[in-house]
Structure 1
């Protein structure tokens, strides 16, 4: 009996030890490894993440030349710390390739007319190397790489809005106020801004695009690889290089443009008040373009404005409108127009009027086709005629109807 009891106790003790050992083994199991997705990342001390985080993964983007996705062109908007290193890393299965600056990498001293002017651009070749990229100051940056060309770009990002609906028209961006630097989320906004009826876009650092290459054949007769530095489309569906957004509810607005790392940009435009009627009294308008014939006695040849497009002709009455209530009318009488050439009417030199409103240029989209000559044709949004002759051009702006513009062109 005593021996049997000892045997039973021994069995219980062994079972307890087995249970204890099993629990200990479970407690000591290592955490599952972090899965890093295949892709191209921006990583390093300059970023909010030390390793590889899906929120810092670059995405395929549009080639501005074709406005279609290019399989080898990647971009990421990301806040970066000045003076700290970062790299572009490609993960492909078990293989990691770290890219850094190669030959010719450096600051772009003379950007093209369409490239950002208010942000430092760095551009050049990249290679597999331990050398790292840096930027000079904390802020938002646009990081771009083409994996076929092995060319990369970084550019400092200061967001603004531009377009006929905005205070400065298409001449220059209206700057959005930028929040304090943050590695994962930032905000740009403007309050109490007059947003008129018309089209507009978001763009950064006063530029439309950045070139990576200008010679490579991308098909369809197009050459070059460029990345968009603007967003269009719609407020709730922003698209790089997308169509102009149209404001059909003029007023006083608060506009917010928010960034979250891993999610990208979102935008809102909240109307907070109504616009006062624009007073166009005394505002000078001109016609400009290669369609304005140098045969006109009063033509200014060539156009001396920043457009430098063909010739310029001030409207009758020293360029200022006649006024009837809230309706303003400019007339160009018996203007000789060249066949097959384009022109527009605009506030003089495309500049902001001295009193109220916004600068503008008006083309075929504002033409009253039904009441105009059949010789007037669309030239890619510009006005044109298919017969050289003398025409009378009339521009009417109805301030009470959100500054709606109507152009008629008749023979004679």
Structure 2
């Protein structure tokens, strides 16, 4: 016969439970904010709403039922009333922590929902384990406003895991950068200079537009947006527009695009359309110190050098003409390859006087002026036009500098193209 008392024998039938034990219990009673579980111990266990999950408004009766079995963790042996204090969420928290540690050690990809947007980044809650992703590691390029990521699933890796200090840091940018590099590699393998492609405008800075083509960004410089003169890229396209472009250059891992398709070039056959001696009519669209530009047709501007505006000597074109004025001029030079048309109002007026008179002096005057205007093509007109080209190039260099600053140098060189 055993020397043990009834109480001692009864004690031996109970599980050996201590703080931190993981046990399986059956729900024997449930209320809105707590559940009572039989875990095979001499007293029942209490699972409160706060220890079930993180939703303080959750009615436990909507997710649990009498008879359900739950794996729980023992927090206290005696909660003050002789009952066990249990936790369900800490089981999940411990499992999630182990999952995070494994992901950190083995550089595994995680996919979770953003729970909060905070100053300087976003937070992802994984069963009570908070992962912080700084704004600088959320996207590429950097995004200041992260509100759109609220409640969105994102992929990231862990760059720091120190739960004791409550520092678990994520990095989403790394994933984006790696995928971009892979897409860029595939793009260079599958495309060549001259290919026509379709893409979506992703941004419109002052120097042009970036176009996304199958996940790869190419630069459409403002000078390549149209055969027409474009002063503001936002007048030519906007974010979200789908446009057709061709690949102009793919050197140094950069992609330069263009919409100046050769078959649409207004300068094509310009030498035949505007031979020397042709009279053209157009509107003055801008003035420079060295002359006036006349729009002969869409995409073709002609330059009237300041010396070819009027017979008398003037210091500035504004002394003879004004923007918006419609004038007629004589073609005195055309360079189709350089897209340059030299005009003379003086020569046209002299020719007009000559046609209206048989006077030998008028005839000589018109001939001399026309010949002088033609000579100017090689001298002052070209010199000034080259000066203009240099000024324009300097403007492009400024745009390129802005581009380098905006993109870290990669697309900046593309702007030079």
Measured against the shorter chain, the TM-score band is: under 0.3
Please state which structure has a larger fraction of its residues in strand: 1
Q: TM-score, normalised by structure 1?
A: 0.27
| Higher Rg | 2
Q: TM-score, normalised by structure 2?
A: 0.26
Please state which structure has a larger fraction of its residues in helix: 2
